[in-house]
């Protein structure tokens, strides 16, 4: 492991692999602590024991970064569409910082404070108004002295640039992660051009997270890296994909899939898929490798196990896991013992057990983004009339 006290940039400049964590919002929704729809992180203040435990599981699995559970914790998102909470944005952000720091201190992990895209931007608020939202979160991160900052989950590079401008004021390292695929952001800006703009804005680490499967995300970061190198610039690269197969996604990513968010389980990647992804990312020159929605601790352990030869050690969670299924040699059934080998798991084509289901879906493809009336946000709850209109539009699109 790197010497204690090494920050994110020192680790990456030394060529070390930095393993991120997984998808807190989806994991905690499944455990009953996050509400699908708003996807806000009030659990950091409401149920700190749940957030703390998930941090611990990712740390044990090999994560080097404890991201504060602050996804969608901006005031405008916390109050969007009738969401009523008992805690303020500041209380949630502070609680999340304390939990991440507590668990990071139990191992060799850094704390990253995170901001994400805002309803204010979607609703066409001014640059100053959007930046004020980011600054409010950043002030908490500075007060709590996180190790570095991440602007993640941005569909539009312009908003991500604004976030970087604000986060740079902290004097801390800044990573920026867009939720885009190979086709670029929702305005059609290519991955390479997005990356160049983010590096010029001041981000030292650039990449993608969420919205697409692991191999698609690696492909996208490769395009970003090519763009940065063509421009004669330098950066470190990160990737934190979905743990779902998304070959049928369009530019909008998995939120356009009809299975989003409650029927994605048949698409979950296996630990062996994740090992292939980790190797592919490493070979592409990406050194910050983690996961987003759907990534559970066992997926992160797979990243750590695949890259153990380069890193020189295994995570604590590997005490309970035989490499490439080798622990199955202890199974009572001989046909299961016969699966205790790498070539079995590498060649397996898993069945879904759903004979009447298709292998891919047709994305919704409404094709709306910032500036469209359907994406104007509001503090009031979505009305019955608004829902009726959406149901009608959905039926027309079927």
56 backbone dihedrals φ, ψ, rounded to 5°: -60, -40
Q: How far apart are CA 286 and CA 200, in angstroms?
A: 19
- What size, in residues, is the chain? 398
Q: Is 293 annotated as a binding residue?
A: yes
Q: Is 168 exposed, middle or buried (0-12, 13-18, 19+ CB in 10 A)?
A: middle
Task: Read off the tokens for 334.
Answer: 């001989």
Q: Is 210 annotated as a binding residue?
A: yes
| Secondary structure class of 199 (helix, strand, coil) | helix
Closest alpha carbon to 75 in 107, 114, 120: 120
Residues 6+ apart with CB under 8 A from 113: 68, 70, 93, 97, 137, 138, 140, 141, 144, 146, 148, 149, 150
Please, are residues 182 and 220 in contact by the beta-carbon 8 Å criterion? yes
User: Beta-carbon neighbour count of residue 167 at 10 Å?
Assistant: 30
Question: Which residue bears the tokens 């790197």?
Answer: 2
Alpha helices in the chain (DSSP H): 8-13, 24-30, 43-46, 48-61, 75-78, 89-104, 119-122, 127-143, 157-168, 191-201, 214-230, 271-283, 297-306, 308-311, 334-337, 342-347, 384-397
Task: Read off the tokens for 67.
Answer: 């991201």
Please, are residues 123 and 95 in contact by the beta-carbon 8 Å criterion? no
Residues 6+ apart with CB under 8 A from 177: 150, 151, 152, 153, 154, 206, 207, 208, 209, 238, 240
Please, are residues 117 and 155 in contact by the beta-carbon 8 Å criterion? yes
User: Beta-carbon neighbour count of residue 397 at 10 Å?
Assistant: 10
Annotation: binding site for Zn(2+): 210, 292-293
Which residue numbers belong to the known binding site?
210, 292-293
């Amino acid at each position: 492991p790197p010497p204690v006290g090494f920050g994110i940039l020192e680790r990456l400049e030394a060529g070390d692999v930095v393993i991120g964590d997984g998808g807190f919002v989806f994991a905690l929704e499944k455990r009953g602590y996050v509400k699908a729809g708003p996807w806000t992180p009030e659990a950091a203040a409401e149920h700190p024991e749940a957030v703390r435990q998930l941090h611990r599981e990712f740390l044990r699995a090999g994560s080097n970064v404890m991201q504060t559970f602050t996804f969608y914790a901006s005031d405008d998102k916390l109050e969007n569409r009738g969401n009523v909470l008992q805690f303020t944005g500041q209380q949630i952000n502070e609680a999340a910082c304390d939990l991440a720091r507590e668990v990071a201190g139990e191992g060799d992990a850094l704390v990253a404070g995170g901001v994400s895209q805002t309803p204010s931007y979607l609703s066409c608020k001014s640059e100053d108004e959007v930046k004020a939202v980011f600054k409010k979160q950043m002030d908490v991160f500075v007060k709590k002295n996180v190790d570095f900052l991440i602007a993640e989950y941005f569909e539009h590079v312009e908003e991500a640039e604004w976030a970087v401008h604000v986060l740079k004021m902290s004097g801390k390292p800044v990573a920026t992660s867009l939720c885009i695929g190979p086709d670029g952001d929702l305005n059609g800006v290519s991955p390479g051009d997005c990356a160049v703009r983010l590096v010029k804005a001041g981000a030292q680490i650039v990449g993608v997270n969420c919205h697409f499967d692991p191999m698609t995300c690696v492909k996208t970061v490769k395009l970003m890296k090519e763009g940065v190198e063509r421009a004669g610039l330098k950066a470190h690269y990160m990737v934190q994909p979905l743990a779902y197969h998304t070959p049928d996604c369009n530019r909008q990513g998995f939120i356009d899939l009809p299975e989003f968010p409650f029927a994605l389980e048949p698409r979950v990647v296996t630990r062996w898929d994740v090992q292939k992804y980790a190797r592919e990312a490493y070979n592409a020159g990406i050194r910050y490798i983690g996961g987003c929605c759907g990534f559970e601790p066992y997926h992160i352990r797979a990243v750590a196990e695949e890259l153990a030869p380069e890193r020189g050690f295994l995570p604590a969670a590997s005490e309970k896991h035989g490499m490439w299924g080798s622990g199955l040699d202890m199974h009572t059934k001989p046909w299961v013992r016969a699966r205790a080998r790498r070539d079995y798991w590498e060649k397996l084509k898993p069945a879904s057990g759903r004979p009447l289901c298709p292998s891919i879906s047709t994305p919704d493809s409404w094709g709306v983004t910032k500036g469209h009336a359907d994406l104007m946000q509001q503090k009031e709850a979505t009305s019955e009339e608004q829902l009726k209109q959406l149901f009608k539009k959905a039926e027309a699109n079927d």
